[in-house]
Structures are given as C-alpha cells and as structure tokens.
Amino acid sequence: MYNFRNLNILTVGCVVLLLAKNHYFIPVVHWGIYLIIIIGLYTFAVVLGCIKISLSFFLPVYCNAKTQEKVVALSFDDGPDDKYTPLILEILKKYNVPATFFCIGKHIKGNEQLIKRMHDEGHAIGNHSYTHNFWFDVYSTKSMLAEMKYTDDDIKAIIGQKPLLFRPPYGVTNPNLSKAIKIGGYSPIGWSIRSMDTIAKNERKLLEGITEKINPGDIILLHDNISITASILSSLIEKIQQRGYRIIRLDKMLKLEVYV
C-alpha cells in the first residue's frame, strides 16, 4: 500500500542496503549517487502524497463510496458567499437535492443566515479551515487545530452542533494536518471528481467534464462562490438524474456522522 509509513520503511531499507555495500545487490557506483537517487525519489513520493488527496497517503481520506448503487454526492467549497450561495441553495431546493457545504470560517460573519438556511434545508455543513490561507499547509498542528476550532465555534453558534467533516484547503495533506484531524476527531473528506469550476470558462465543457466521469459513489467537488457553478447547476442535476443516479448527502453515502 502506497502510504507515508510504508514509504519510510522502504526508504530505510534502501539506505541500510546501501550502507551494507553488498555488491551482489548494488553495482559498484559511488554511494553518493545512490543517496541522491533515494532522496530524490523519496521527495517526489512525499510531494505526490501531499497533493493527491485520493492516495490517502498520510491518513485514510474518504474520496468516494465503495458501492455499485447509482448514487453520487455534491459538495461545495469556499462559501458561504452572499452572491452565489443563495442562488445555489435555490436550485438545490427546486430539485429537492441535498449537498454538503465545506465552509471557510472567515466567510461566516455576516452570512450567518446562509449557514442557518443550509442547515434548515437539510444540507450538511463541514469545516474547511478558518482562513484557507495559502500557507495553511506549513502551519503547525496547533495552528491548524486553532483554525478548525474557530470555524467549528462559529458554525456551532448558529446551528447548535459542531461539524465532524473536514476538507483540507487545496486538498493538501501532510503529517501535521493528519495529527490535527485525528486530535480533532474529524472525518477527512476528499473527492473523486474535481470539477475545476474555479478555472472553467465554458459552461458546456464544464458540464460535460463532470457528467462524463460519473461512477457510483462519486463525490463531486464544486464551489459555491463561483458564477459558472451556479449557472450550470440545474443542468448538472438534470443530467445526473437522467443517467439514473440519485444525489444524496455524502455523509449518508459514506455512513458518517456529520455533527456532534
């Protein structure tokens, strides 16, 4: 299994073999060359594990449901947004479709009614850090936990419950975040379909890029602070349903507790 623990074991084994200088296994080449190769491969593997959340490299991450049932889940990041979140909520209400909103804590102030509306209309609310800062991934475990708690506290003040679902900013994981998630008791949530709606310019291509990839148990990553997402959401829901899929909340699909 490709994960941080096994990579470290393999790397240590390679270094021990190198130090043993057993020429039956290691051709006669300067040991420094092997060391450079080992360090390079190790660095590449760790970076890949950090940025590719579906690998569950540092800790198990829920990126889809293991099912043959034709169900998928919609998730929205980076809100609440006073302009586009209401439009998205209206569309979800029209089609009676539930979703999960991973909210950034600093966006909650002034948008408390949107959080309440999400909850009242049957959507799940998750934690997406407080600042979503570019440097979040180099924070200490303590600083990460502080951000998570600030967002938890703001959400709990509105709906009376603390969220248990956490989606890492940028989908990046590392050892510090792994510790923070475990200490905080969160369920880490990734995705299996990344819509790329944050950079999409063409509605048709965005829509096709999502619907052509759909498989049972998929978690679709969208954003509720993007104009194009609000524009294609009705068509997306219709196309998913036309293919015989049901859209359910990801916590129901994954059989996870959403609040405590």
Active site residues: 77, 223
CA distance 156 to 127: 11
Q: Both tokens of residue 201?
A: 């310019």
CA distance 3 to 48: 11
CA distances from 8 to 18, 45, 127 (A): 15, 10, 30
Is residue 127 within 8 Å of residue 102, measured between CB atoms?
A: yes
CA nearest to 114, candidates 77, 78, 150, 86: 86
Alpha carbon 106 to its chain's center: 19
Alpha carbon 22 to its chain's center: 44
DSSP 8-class letter at 242: H
Q: Read out DSSP for 158-194? A: HHSS-B-EE--GGG---HHHHHHHHHHT-EEB--SEE
